[in-house]
Amino acid sequence: MTDRIVYKILTDDEHDALTRMGSFSGSPADLADGFIHLSAAGQVAGTLDRHFSGKSGLVLVAVDLSLLDPAAVRWEPSRGGQLFPHLYAPLPVGAVVATAPVARTAGGGVSLPV
């Protein structure tokens, strides 16, 4: 894939842990699956709808893939055969290039921080 910037949706507590600890090992779902689930820009709204519907206190973290070990990132089929970025290592805070509270646009999309 060619996306350089991908996104991770975090709870406020997870975001606080990332900034405090300097890395993020994953949400309960990530830990159960053995990798950190990420989304390309065009996948964020669908990920929010499917996994975070009705939840508040969410933070969208923009991750620069060029700042991660390339061997730790795999684009693998998931929802409907779409390729999603999966991180097989902790997410270092140094790879985070922007953060913003999750905000929906009037049309139902998501305002991306980058």
Token look-up 């921080």 returns: 113
d(CA 112, CA 101): 9
Over residues 59-72, the pLDDT tens digits come to 999 999 999 999 99
**Domain 5-101 classification at class level:** alpha beta
**Which one has a higher pLDDT value, 106 or 7?**
7
Residue 85 predicted with pLDDT over 80? yes
pLDDT at 74: 97
Q: Which two tokens stand for residue 36?
A: 């950190």
Residue 52 predicted with pLDDT over 80? yes
Phi/psi of residue 20, each to 5°?
Answer: -75, -45
Average pLDDT over residues 73-96: 95
| Arithmetic mean of pLDDT over the chain | 93
Q: Which two tokens stand for residue 24?
A: 């993020």
Where along the chain do its domains lie?
A: 5-101
Average pLDDT over residues 98-113: 84
